[in-house]
Amino acid sequence: MSPHPVRVLTGITTSGTPHLGNYVGAIRPAIAASRSADVESYYFLADLHALIKVQEPARVQRSTLEIAATWLACGLEPERVCFYRQSDIPEITELTWLLTCVAGKGILNRAHAYKAAVDRNRAEGEDDDAGINAGLFMYPVLMSADILLFNADRVPVGRDQIQHIEMARDFGQRFNHLYGEHFRLPEVEIEERVATLPGLDGRKMSKSYDNTIPLFAPRAELKKLIFSIVTDSKAPGEPKDTEGSALFQLYRAFASEEETARMRQAYAEGIAWGEAKQQLFERIDVEIAPLRARYEALIARPQDIERQLCAGAARLREQIATPFLRRLREAVGLRDLAHAPAEAEADAGAGAAQAPPQFKQYRESDGRFYFKLVDDDRVLLQSVGHDSPRDAGQLIARLKREGSAELHHLAGQGVHLGQHLVGHLAEGVAVEELLEALARFAADEA
């Protein structure tokens, strides 16, 4: 057991209006988790992240207000959890620069969000980086600063964010290696069983599909939207399938087990779609109506929310961020010129802290296990996927032992160990570099 309560941290990008999918998938479970006694929860409004994609000031402001009011209306207790706005903590941006200077550019080149943008450009015959701002490229470094500044133990995120947590670990480790143990390395907490809610058209509810139901739509609008959910054309009296029914899934996300069983029965008995929609509407509204009332009261008094957020940030800065950044500045050499450096440090000189090449294992969103070989922050080799971490580990062990002698590279077909496809050279890496790095392992083992 750890001696301190587990610190759980997560950010919410303030770039939209919360919808039912956000509520069921993120807000409701996060608030329930924040009530557990042995965790210390940090929830923040990631407004600096929002600037990457929203460049309309009024929308950034409005979304920040709406999201803050939503979390408070849904029961977040600002006395119990740390609730703050990212941009109120200038130490986050300062740390972003310190981490930028240890982050491997090659690692950022491989970030999914950036790569996807490049791929879209390529597909359209554009320049690789056309229309891409450097904020998107640096996104994982800012996110690492969010996490490392508060030494979070766990970061609950969706699968699409796993890679960002890996990067935070990587940058934190790199920094620790150069400047001493300053950061705890965060663990990803994948929310496996998070309900993804279907939207109006049956696809996942998502702003990008324009199929959402705003969480705090007024009652009349909520009703109208629910009645517009797509169903099949079965007539009243005909038995209906719960499987694949968006309506049923939505109902289940709000109802108790007994209510869900009753609805299942009603489907089998041929409930009319109109009736099922009416029941769904009432069931959602029973849960949301009291929250909606609180939300409306909160949003009518933005100055109270502003005050709460400022107080949250001030407390965190005073207790954690400001003193921590003072230590980090000292550690990297941003120092009082009148203080002499410690002797050991003065002797060490440049290059002494060069990291040896390293194999890094990780799991991708496809559920398979991968590794890469990294030398001084440059990725050399990217493995193929494996079914288990053990398979990946055994191959790594073989590579360390025999790789430098047995490895060969077939142009266009990847790197092989005997008959075995190991993976692929990273862009711009020559096979000689890979062999050299592997030779260092073989030398260490001998």
Residue ranges in 36-95 that form contacts with ligand TRP under rule CB under 6 A = 46, 49
Phi, psi of 363 (to 5 degrees): -115, 135
Residue ranges in 287-316 that form contacts with ligand TRP under rule CB under 6 A = none
Q: Determine contact, residues 46/52, Cβ cutoff 8 Å.
A: no
Judged by CB under 6 A, the residue of 7, 8, 11, 246 near ligand TRP is 11
Site string for ligand TRP, 203-222 (x = CB under 6 A): --------------------
Judged by CB under 6 A, the residue of 50, 147, 148, 381 near ligand TRP is 147
Give me 42's structure tokens: 């940090």
Residue with the two structure tokens 């329930």 = 32
Q: Determine contact, residues 117/132, Cβ cutoff 8 Å.
A: yes
Q: Which is nearer to ligand TRP, 17 or 278 (CB)?
A: 17
Judged by CB under 6 A, the residue of 157, 205, 226, 328 near ligand TRP is 157
Residue ranges in 402-421 that form contacts with ligand TRP under rule CB under 6 A = none
Rg of the chain over Cα atoms, rounded to whole angstroms, equals 26
Judged by CB under 6 A, the residue of 155, 205, 280, 434 near ligand TRP is 155
Long-range contacts of 375-380 (CB under 8 A, 24+ apart): 375/433, 375/437, 377/102, 377/103, 377/104, 377/106, 377/107, 377/174, 378/104, 378/106, 378/426, 378/429, 379/104, 379/106, 379/107, 379/110, 379/426, 379/429, 380/425, 380/426, 380/429, 380/433, 380/434, 380/437
Task: Please tell me the distance from the alpha carbon of residue 28 to that of residue 254, in angstroms, as a whole number.
Answer: 11
Q: Which is nearer to ligand TRP, 9 or 305 (CB)?
A: 9
Q: If binding is defined by CB under 6 A, does position 96 make contact with ligand TRP?
A: no
Q: Which is nearer to ligand TRP, 159 or 398 (CB)?
A: 159
Residue in 52, 75, 47, 79 with CA at minimum distance from that of residue 63? 47
Q: Which is nearer to ligand TRP, 143 or 379 (CB)?
A: 143
Q: Which is nearer to ligand TRP, 88 or 146 (CB)?
A: 146
Q: Which is nearer to ligand TRP, 10 or 382 (CB)?
A: 10
Give me 17's structure tokens: 């209006």
CA distances from 304 to 58, 66, 136, 309 (A): 19, 13, 32, 9
Give me 318's structure tokens: 């005073």
Give me 71's structure tokens: 């979390």
Q: How many residues sit close enough to ligand TRP to count as binding (CB under 6 A)?
A: 12
Residue ranges in 104-143 that form contacts with ligand TRP under rule CB under 6 A = 143
Report in angstroms how near the CB of residue 9 gets to ligand TRP at its nearest. 6
Nearest-CB residue for ligand TRP: 11
Q: Which is nearer to ligand TRP, 49 or 85 (CB)?
A: 49
Interface with ligand TRP by CB under 6 A: which residues? 9-11, 13, 46, 49, 143, 146-147, 155, 157, 161
